[in-house]
Amino acid sequence: MSKKGAFIFGIMLVAAVVVGFGYERSDVMFLSEIEAGMTGIGKTIVADDVISEFNVSVIGVIDEPGESSDFIVVRVSGEAIGRSGGIAQGMSGSPVYIDGKLIGALSRAASWSKELTPIGLVTPIEQMLGIIDSMNDGLSSRPRADAILSGVKLYETSTPPTAEELAKAPKTIFSYPVSSPLIVSGLSGRSITTLMDGYTEQPPTGLVTDFLPAGVSPGMLGLSSFGLRLNPLSGGASSDSGTEADLVPGGGIGVALASGDVTIGALGTITYREGDLVVAFGHRFIANGDADFPLTSVHIYDTMKSYDASFKLGTIGKTLGTILEDRGSGIGGAIGREASTIDVGIGVLDQDTQATRNFQIELVDEPRIMPNLILATGLNAIDETLDRIGQGTVEVNYQIIGDGMTKPLQRRDLFLSTQDIAIYPPWQLAGIVNFLQYNDFTDPQIKRITATMQITREIKAMHINHLELDQDSYAPGDTIHYQVDLQTYQGGTQTVEGEITIPDELMADDITVRAYSGPRLLEDGEQPQEFQSLDDVVQAIEDLPTYDTLTVELFAWDYTSPNGMQGIDKVRTDVSGYFLYDEREVTVPLTLADTFGE
């Protein structure tokens, strides 16, 4: 069964479970029943995985157009809030109860000039139940008229407002998300910056995707672009602790993006559980809609006060299920389900020091963020092994295996840089994976990715210094004998000789012979390659030459095209281990007189 087919079957199964359970009216209180002045409690973990309670008092209801922007405005107080320094990151999803009935999830902190105590916004429970039951029991989500905060507007910001902003807008409640703090371990330095912000330097050129037909691509999006914030004290290793019994309202829940030698994930709070189904957060994660992320346990050490925004300090635990929904009102998942992940193995050898590192990582199979996850983890693997940033030559072997692919994709590359050799292998791999996942034909269902690389500080380069032909002119059917002189970087010279035959039927005034390395861009008159299947895509990626391949190609003017040159034939020579750069070409007349005279 395909991944998509399995996912649809999984959703049908979840829906069947939900219908089977239904919702007890005595368990929940809907928006239409909320009144100003009601009091209750909220539940969350502040420290040591112990669920604590805090006090809640309803101020009123924000009634915006539609239902997705309706919120219950509450005051929060008590020891748990005081110890946390207010509403902290990671509290999102904390269930709020009135008279023992669940009204929703604390999802946003807020500021209002009329309130000095901490206030927050609660996502109504019916919005969250809608994640797992679109029928919503047929109950209305319209608020009571006397609970609506008349004339009060809601303004969402990314950070708390200043005192001046509050004073200027007394009829406005400023809300800011109680984001799910991103927990990262196994990454350091610029790899974390790349993970969050994307690669901010000049990207490398001359990679595989520069020479393939343009495709659909999300680009190298950092996780900050999805509204995620890095936990200020990230770095704790993931834990194997946690059981299904820990997944209770008010308890912690995690969403994993990577696990193994690198851990990337977010933590929040469970709002509601019905059998093996849970809803949490009270807000989106990355707004993926349909999702397929590992659902994990978490371990909360403590909640740290911070001037900017308090946050929970914790780690991602063992995988206990799958997040299937990622919506504006929260995330929903099924305990016991297995998420689709991709095994990534990265091996790095520093030939100068003989240092070797091997990394094993499981990444979520989500094409929107996959390129950046590969780039950040691959960059970190190289930086940790080399313990330096700078020049070098790297030889890389890639293999990509997928259930939707008829054969593994295998490719070897050679790169050279005088500035930063580490960026080339992971960028190349990220681009290839991205091109495969967004191909026009078949989901590759990638299951395993390996990249092994050998790196040296040495500049192993050869300059294409000279190209010489054996004649000053040729006729159709002639064989061209050529000689290419290569200059080794700060070393000796090497000569490559060969021959290429001019087609008998070629009609042109002159011909051009060009010596170059690696793949080349299309000439103006050439048409891009057309693919008919995923197999064609894989083959095209494998066939693009590496930069230690010398190509001598024959070109001629194409009179049927308004734009010009066409490649006619080529000869390739392997110059293993040396990066060839620059190009040379020679243009000579093509004499047709003897042909017409016969």
Token pair 């403590």: residue: 302
Higher pLDDT, 48 or 427: 427
What is the reported pTM? 0.85
Give CA torsion, residues 122, 123, 124, 126, to 10 deg. -160
Helices (H), 111-240: 125-132, 163-168, 190-197
Residue 147 CA to residue 151 CA, distance in Å, equals 12
User: Domains along the chain?
Assistant: 24-177 (2.40.10.10), 182-339 (no CATH), 342-456 (no CATH), 461-597 (no CATH)
pLDDT band at 85 (very low <50, low <70, confident <90, very high): confident
- β-pair type (341-350, 446-456): parallel
- The predicted model gives 514-521 an average pLDDT of 95
- Structure confidence at residue 163 (pLDDT): 79
Q: Give the pLDDT confidence of 519-554 residue by residue, as tens digits.
A: 999 887 788 888 999 999 999 999 999 999 999 999
CA dihedral over 274, 276, 280, 282, signed as positive or negative: negative
Sheet containing strand 549-557, edge to edge, reads: 565-574, 549-557, 510-517, 584-589
The stretch 280-306 carries a mean pLDDT of: 86
Does residue 425 carry a pLDDT above 90?
yes
Q: How many Cα atoms sit within 13 Å of 527 on the Cβ side?
A: 6
Name the band, by pLDDT with cuts 50, 70 and 90, for residue 380. Answer: very high
Task: Pick the range with the lowest mean pLDDT from 31-35, 556-560, 581-585.
Answer: 556-560
Q: Answer whether residue 303 shows pLDDT above 70.
A: yes
Return the number of other C-beta atoms located less than 10 Å from residue 221's C-beta.
15
Task: Collect all residues with Cβ–Cβ distance below 8 Å to 487 and sequence separation of at least 6.
Answer: 462, 463, 465, 493
Q: What is the pLDDT of residue 229?
A: 84
- Kindly report, residue by residue over 153-187, the tens digit of the pLDDT: 787 776 777 778 888 888 788 776 666 778 899 99
